[in-house]
Structure 1
Amino acid sequence: ENTLAKAILDIFIFLKQKYPNLFPTRVKTGEGWASNADDTGHIRKRVVGSRIKLYVMRHIYKGRYYNCVNGISVCPECLDEDFIVNTSFPRIRSKEFHHEDLRFEGYSVNELYRLFVNDRGNPYFLRDLVKKMEEESLALKCTSHHSIVKAIHFQNFKKLISWENIPKEFPYKDIFDLPAEIIHILVKICVDNFSLPEPLPGRQIVREQDINERRLNVRKYVIDFLKERYIIDRIHEGVCPVCGEFNTRDHLPAFEYSHLFKKSELTPEERKKREKYTITYLYRTFTCSEIVKEMEKRYQKGGYLCPNCHRVIHKDLSIIDKIYDEPNMFNKILEDNENTIRKHEQNLVYYIESIENPLKPQRDRHV
């Protein structure tokens, strides 16, 4: 079925390019691509859900997150770190509600719309929603800071990955100054000696074999983080090239790879290659220099940036006026969008001779 669906999609794209006036615009939905017939409902869901989200961000905890000076709600951690770009523009898609228990994460735009539809007869819907979210002790976070909270392996091994608290007299100022074999030994020692949580009452004790497999998988995650940090440090000088506010030492999980070309802009062969050579696959398979060379190819061409800026690139400007009531908000969002896209296109990943393979032991070619 998947093969047939892809074949039909390829035919549609080909005919759409040849005869654009004869075929409807496609819209991405949760279940795939839909035609213009579903466009109105899709837009309504996004607009209503976004307006509910704006209301909640403004009124929850009696306006704790709302800045009445610039009329937007801001992430308190961005404020604490004296960020400017991420506190000056609305960036509603980059705001999320965090729950201390990650199992209860939710309240996306789509879910807020669903809650409204299920309770649309309640004239106190918004008041009741804010009260419910306050009772659940939800906190507002930007997507970048939220992603760091959820990156458990980074949190557990941040001192190693970011090379923190190293004595001044120690000759190796960065972990990449060490031989690759030593780095792998350090990763193994840290992961293997990390204390595992006690099994919950009534739960079966985890087998030693399963523990060893879990540790091996965690070691791979740590190596992936180190590779990512090395590449971003060399290409983007360790910061988001758009906002310049998130860095690899404190916010490494808050970096995403943004492709320059959408899948719809690629040939069928290029789409197959991107689907096969995912970014995760690249990090698990290739050395740092090989990863960068792969990212220069057209179907992988792009660059790293923080999730907050990444979501600005994919913002649909056509519905801004339906979401915001403030007359000047569209110009502010448009300015942010244009600056973000321009800076992103000026800071794509490219291969430079100084990119080496600091995690490549002599005995292993692909690390």
Structure 2
Amino acid sequence: MSTPFLPVPLGRYTLQNRFAMAPMTRSRAQYDGTPTTAMATYYGQRATLGLIVTEGTQPSEDGQGYMMTPGIYTEAHVAGWRAIADAVHAKNSRLFIQLMHAGRMSHPDNTPHHRQAVAPSAIASGEPMFTPTGIQAARVPREMSIEDIRQTIADFRHAASTAIEAGADGVEIHGANAYLIQQFLAPSANHRADLYGGSIENRARFAIEVARGVAEEIGAERTAIRLSPGTRMWGIDEGADGPDLYRYLVTELDKLGLVYLHVMHLGNELLIDDIRKRWSTALVVNRPGRPRESIGTDLSSGFADIEAYGQMVLANPDFIARLQANVPMTPADRNTFFGGGEVGYIDYPALEQNPTTA
């Protein structure tokens, strides 16, 4: 497995290897969304991977879904992210901040302005939400007007600009996992009768306009997007034409020259193969639950240019060293995934700290 550890070009950058840290919500920012010093430690620890993709980061107050998630739209946010970028760059890695608008996957108690969530249509997810006062039922969001859509695209553009100001190497637009962009893609969440609903072309329009706007703002070579074709979670159902929607969407996104496409591979080999054929730049593949013995197989086959890993990187800040030494990975503690302090966040041992693990 030598090739995965060699430097590889990614747009204007050169990555030190072909492995990426997948985005994972950890809910350890300050209440106003400002990143903490612990977050700089956390990302810096894992920056021996070639590419670090951050947790979902809201581009606006409307975009926040969960408690204590980071933002990237104020001066305080920029200062906090600058420390993270410095920590990642000190290890010769590259940092892409994932821009995530939660859409209907939110609750007024979790946002700074305490307003009703916005979404393509006034349809609740049916998913209970964690809030400062405990679990509460999902609320019906407000259907976005055309002006809301335009403002949200502007918010993405502004967030991308401030991400670069903070020292990030680029941004990854979150178009997956049942959040706002995928809500536009799915007929179960999008009942609109205007240019943003109904046909495949209309349902894909918002994703394309966001990607185009961000690419115009910071350059396509700094702009990426993540998709999760076939996700069925939190009320998302892309319907029988879902595969064709993604074939169209990826073809249109490819025309923008984005630096990479990050795909969450959920098992539809035919569709992902079609996506691979339609995509001209780097393809990042994340297969949730991929076993240790399968690491590198998408790279060796030429299917992926970069492989992304989540929980294994979360629990193994020395992920690359463990791969190279062919030693076991520390299991992740699910009880400490969201919120809390240093435990289960920046205290996972590296090999030299815990030689018995190896």
Task: Give yes or no for TM over 0.5.
Answer: no
TM class by shorter-chain length? under 0.3
Q: Which has the higher helix share?
A: 1
Structure with larger RCO (C-alpha < 8 A, sep 6+): 1
Larger C-alpha radius of gyration, 1 or 2? 1
TM value normalised by structure 1: 0.25
Q: Which has the higher strand share?
A: 2
TM value normalised by structure 2: 0.26
